[in-house]
Amino acid sequence: MASLIGSYSLSFGLLFSVFIIFFSVRNLRDAEILDKKIISFTFIQFFFVVISFFGLIVSFINSDFSNETVFNHSHTTKPLFYKISGTWGNHEGSLLLWLLVLTLFISIFLLKSNQQPKKYRIFTLLFQQIIIVGFFIFLIKTSSPFNYIFPTPNEGLGLNPILQDPALAIHPPVLYLGYVGSSIIFSSALAAMVTSYVSKEWAKHIKKWVLASWVFLTLGILLGSIWAYYELGWGGFWFWDPVENVSLMPWFALTTLLHCILVLEKKKILTSWAMILSIATFALSMSGTFLVRSGILNSVHTFANDPERGIFILIFLFTLIFLSIFIFIFFHSVKEKLENNFFWLSKETSILVNNWFMMYFLSVVLIGTIYPIFLEVITANKISVGPPFYNKLILPFLIPFLVAMAIGPNLNWVKSDFKDKFYMTMFLIISFLLSALIIKQFDINFLINTILVTSAFFLFFSTSREFFVKKFRNISQNIAHFGFSLLILSILFNNIFSNEVITNLKIGETFKTEKFTINFENIEQEDEKNFKAIIGKFNVQNLDGSSDILNPELRIYNQPNIITSEADIKTNLLTDKFMTMNYVQNQEYFNVRYQVKPFMIWIWVSVILISLGGFLSFFKKI
């Protein structure tokens, strides 16, 4: 029943797109005031998508297995929370969520943009409707979430257990808010070009959308990372996996755009660049969806593979890109003021430098992700591009980037006298001594590590100082930059100080290293609603006499029948202690992995600080 309602409201929603487009085009020629009907229709369309989405949620809650999507991704014994999150834990549902956010955002846009020119608003709506219609057709034609199966199966196939997790339950919605937010930026950039509205006013108005998308995208990536850290069982939080890269690319583009908009709202320069970035951000978000959903990528995350759907998204994506290139070439006119704009040591230059490096990082990730696909198609050679590639190409460039980031915000708009030279030099010397002292303790490449840590410390000190010098002026930028320095420092230290062992242990055995002793005490069995758990009890004694009890878990899920390994993590301010155990086939011992990972929590905290910076900026009065 709920499925039926959901299915019909999808069609009604599409029907309203026709009305909206018709009245918008008519309204373009007519009056000076925006037709109230258009706004109402947009809301009605949003309403229908909401109904449709709720229809799917209700089907999931009721375990209505006559619905194909529910049958494929749910099970009666699954906890209610994961029944609900199962709604978007699959291809069809997650696209419906995309559509939901698309219609939500355009409604909010219409409400919030009444200070803007009428023509610009209508064009934004029209471009957004093109995207919305595309998604409607995609959903209804190739991936309807409401397909009917007869006879009704008694039991569903279940949701992949590694997706049954609180962080992953909210990861897609948050990430999609970021992705889809970029669609508004895209439509609005096209509309601004068509109506020649690319200006400081436009920059001020679109900045809010850039910030909002950016904050959501950052948090979405963070949630995914945290999930990978405790769920995938190898203790890492970033593996340069294609699906991770795909979310990082729009983030780079959006971060670049954010900085570019900051210039544009002060001065009408870099307009073409801002347009290109607006288009690129959305194109990258769309291709992200395409790459993940089509199954082209070999990756842990690809839980829905279907090349046909991929082709639809690809055609759709190319249509949008051609449309935007067309508009960019024929409508965008560069009328920038040319007098005394740039000086070597100005804030604008430092933002240009930021853009420059960001684009470089983006191109590394983009090329690293798609190059193997092209190579395989052309030469049938399969190559892997993994962490060593990204480390080699990104780390050396991170050094000047961090230094520029430390110096940049201290420069004034247009021209700076660079009066903080003294402090900066001091910081540089202190950072260097500190880093050299730390790195010397470890048996690793001295030169590159010292320089890296030095530049991270340098940014850390200079942003810390700004809190005192600038007080609450520019607090948002300061928090974000400080967070970034903390992020890089934590990642570096996490890499340098990490300590880990992998060993096979039987119950009752002990494993000794110089730094700790692991004692495998016993195992217990527990029966949960949808899985059986084997819980190991380990006692780890450290050198200083303290000891930790760790209880990693093996879960044997009933439907689908999959064994997962749940890490046990003891977190405190300085280190994380991370343990997983794995079942070794036909053997009486378990494979145990124990890791001591310093500053883990600071990686999360710093990303939260970075997004907090963006969040505060949202409320700033210009």
Partner 1 sequence: MKFIHIFLIAAIISNFNFLKADEIKTENKIAKNLRCLICQGQSVYDSDSEFATSLKLVIRNKIQEGLNEEQIYSFLKTKYGEWILYDPVFNRNTYFLWLLPILIFLAGGAIILKKFYIRK
Q: Between residues 205 and 293, which has the closer beta carbon with respect to partner 1?
A: 293
Q: Which of 128, 162, 177 is nearest to 17 (CA)?
A: 128
Q: Between residues 28 and 562, which has the closer beta carbon with respect to partner 1?
A: 562
Q: Which of 118, 120, 99 is nearest to 45 (CA)?
A: 99
Q: What is the SS3 assignment for 275-308?
A: HHHHHHHHHHHHHHHHHHHHCCCCCCCCCCCCHH
Q: Which of 365, 290, 363, 297 is nearest to 320 (CA)?
A: 290
Shortest distance, CB of residue 289 to partner 1, whole angstroms? 18
Instruction: Tell me if residue 49 falls in helix, strand or coil.
Output: helix
Cβ neighbours of 339 (radius 10 Å): 4
Bridge partners (DSSP) of residue 525 are: 534
Backbone angle region of 233, left / alpha / beta, with phi > 0 → left and psi within -120 to 50 → alpha: left
Structure tokens at 281: 């951000």
Please give the residue ranges that form the binding site for partner 1 (CB under 8 A).
234, 236, 239, 241-242, 298-302, 338, 340-342, 344, 352-353, 356, 359-360, 363-364, 367-368, 371, 375, 379, 381-389, 392-393, 397, 582, 584-585, 591
CA distance 421 to 277: 34
Q: Which of 351, 486, 474 is nearest to 408 (CA)?
A: 351
Q: Between residues 164 and 498, which has the closer beta carbon with respect to partner 1?
A: 498
Q: What are phi and psi of 565, to 5 degrees?
A: -115, 125
Contacts of 341 (CB under 8 A, 6+ apart): 267, 269, 348
CA distance 29 to 26: 6
Q: Which of 87, 101, 2 is nearest to 52 (CA)?
A: 2
Q: Between residues 300 and 535, which has the closer beta carbon with respect to partner 1?
A: 300
Shortest distance, CB of residue 243 to partner 1, whole angstroms? 8
Shortest distance, CB of residue 123 to partner 1, whole angstroms? 30
Q: Between residues 340 and 546, which has the closer beta carbon with respect to partner 1?
A: 340
Structure tokens at 547: 């000891």
Q: Between residues 375 and 434, which has the closer beta carbon with respect to partner 1?
A: 375
Q: Between residues 135 and 390, which has the closer beta carbon with respect to partner 1?
A: 390
CA distance 600 to 574: 8
Shortest distance, CB of residue 224 to partner 1, whole angstroms? 14
Q: Between residues 234 and 497, which has the closer beta carbon with respect to partner 1?
A: 234
Q: Locate tokens 């369309």: which residue?
A: 45
| Contact present, 195 and 120 (Cβ < 8 Å) | yes
CA distance 460 to 445: 22
Shortest distance, CB of residue 80 to partner 1, whole angstroms? 29
Q: Between residues 206 and 569, which has the closer beta carbon with respect to partner 1?
A: 569
Q: Between residues 515 and 620, which has the closer beta carbon with respect to partner 1?
A: 515
Q: Between residues 187 and 564, which has the closer beta carbon with respect to partner 1?
A: 564
Q: How far is CA 112 from CA 116, 119, 275, 476, 521, in A?
A: 9, 15, 21, 23, 61
CA distance 474 to 3: 50
Q: Between residues 77 and 591, which has the closer beta carbon with respect to partner 1?
A: 591
Shortest distance, CB of residue 239 to partner 1, whole angstroms? 7
Contacts of 79 (CB under 8 A, 6+ apart): 164, 529, 530
Shortest distance, CB of residue 373 to partner 1, whole angstroms? 12
Shortest distance, CB of residue 334 to partner 1, whole angstroms? 13
Shortest distance, CB of residue 342 to partner 1, whole angstroms? 5
Shortest distance, CB of residue 400 to partner 1, whole angstroms? 11
Q: Between residues 184 and 264, which has the closer beta carbon with respect to partner 1?
A: 264
Residue 550 CB-half CA count within 13 A: 29
Q: Between residues 126 and 352, which has the closer beta carbon with respect to partner 1?
A: 352
Shortest distance, CB of residue 617 to partner 1, whole angstroms? 25
Q: What is the DSSP letter of 67?
A: B
Shortest distance, CB of residue 14 to partner 1, whole angstroms? 36
Shortest distance, CB of residue 100 to partner 1, whole angstroms? 29
Query: Following DSSP, what letter does each residue of 136-199 receive, concatenated?
Result: HHIIIII--TT-B-SSPPSS-----GGG-SHHHHHHHHHHHHHHHHHHHHHHHHHHHHHTT--S
Shortest distance, CB of residue 280 to partner 1, whole angstroms? 13
